[in-house]
Amino acid sequence: MFTGLIEGIGTVVSLHKGGADWTLGVAAPFDLAGVSLGDSLAVNGVCLTVIAKESTSFQVQVSRATVAVSTMTGLRVGQKVNLERAMVLGGRLDGHLVQGHVDTVGDVERLQPQGQSVVIWFRVPRPFGRYIVPKGSVAIDGVSLTVNEVQDSGTVTRFSVNMIPHTGHKTTLASLVAGSMVNVETDLLGRYVERLLMAGRQGETMARIDEAYLRERGF
């Protein structure tokens, strides 16, 4: 589990595509002494397992399933990536709960300077847009951001976030341009709520969560 607060910007130093899995090597800007084999690291918002490490770099394995739903296919040696180590239980949660399980690839539609900040509009397929709500949280390339506006139109959902200067300096988001592809992870709470409601509608043994159910329990 992660927070969406990026610890540093790393650099892709190797990329081996072959077999069932890919191997990705990344140079990290922070001390790796506390990172062990088998630990989870988020690379551009994708939760990956450390399979090897040196003093200043590490290697992770990327499954075909992960490649299929993320921007990993476009990675290249020399590219900058956002890095975050797994959160420490009991620590301060300053972002939001991020699993590192990317839902879909979105694209940047436009950027609008607004004072010292930049408003960025993204576009995602409509089936994933239903989990994005105004004032809710979303992870873009692993960065925890607050959603400003949401617009559903046809087969796509457009939403905007505000990137303050600090976020631009500490992450790769400052390099985004119209047409850039990004990893998008929606808020996990919405997905669980939807699943529970669907179970009730389909007549499963699980109690249906509706207005009557909530009233009976004092809500």
Are 66 and 114 in a shared domain? Answer: no
Q: Are residues 76 and 13 in the same domain?
A: yes
Q: Is residue 149 part of a domain?
A: yes
110, 80: one domain: no
State residue 208's pLDDT score: 64
In this prediction the pTM is: 0.87
Q: Which amino acid is at 88?
A: V
**pLDDT tens string 176-217:** 999 999 999 998 888 888 877 776 555 555 566 678 878 888
Residues 122 and 75 in one domain: no
Give the mean model confidence (pLDDT) for residues 88-108. 88
Residue 135 has pLDDT above 80, yes or no: yes
Q: What is the pLDDT of residues 52-91, one digit of tens each?
A: 999 999 999 999 999 999 999 999 999 999 999 999 887 7
User: Where in the sequence is the domain holding 132, given as residue range(s)?
Assistant: 104-186
User: Is the model more confident about 33 or about 192?
Assistant: 33
- Residue 213 resides in a domain: no
Domain termination site, one of 30, 56, 85: 85
| Average pLDDT of every residue of the chain | 91
| Token couple for 217 | 């329990």
Residue 91, domain member (yes or no): no
DSSP 128: H
Distances (CA, A) of 215 to 79, 97, 163, 179, 205: 53, 29, 41, 47, 20
Q: Which residues of 20-33 are buried (b: 16+ CB within 10 A; e: fewer)?
A: ebbbbbbbbeeebe
Contacts of 119 (CB under 8 A, 6+ apart): 111, 112, 113, 148, 160, 161, 162, 163
Domain-located, residue 211 = no
- The total of structural domains in the chain comes to 2
The verdict on residue 214 lying in a domain is: no
Residue 49 has a pLDDT of 95
CATH number at residue 69: 2.40.30.20
Alpha-carbon span 109 to 18, nearest angstrom: 33
pLDDT at 149: 97
Percent of the chain with pLDDT over 90: 75
Helical spans, DSSP H, in the chain? 64-69, 126-129, 165-170, 188-201, 211-216
pLDDT attached to residue 210:
72
Same domain, 72 and 123: no
User: Considering the domain boundaries, does residue 129 fall inside one?
Assistant: yes
CB 182 within 8 Å of CB 107: yes
Specify if 90 maps to a domain.
Answer: no
Task: Flag whether 119 is in a domain.
Answer: yes
**Close Cβ partners of 43 (under 8 Å, ≥ 6 residues apart):** 10, 24, 26, 60, 81, 82, 83, 142
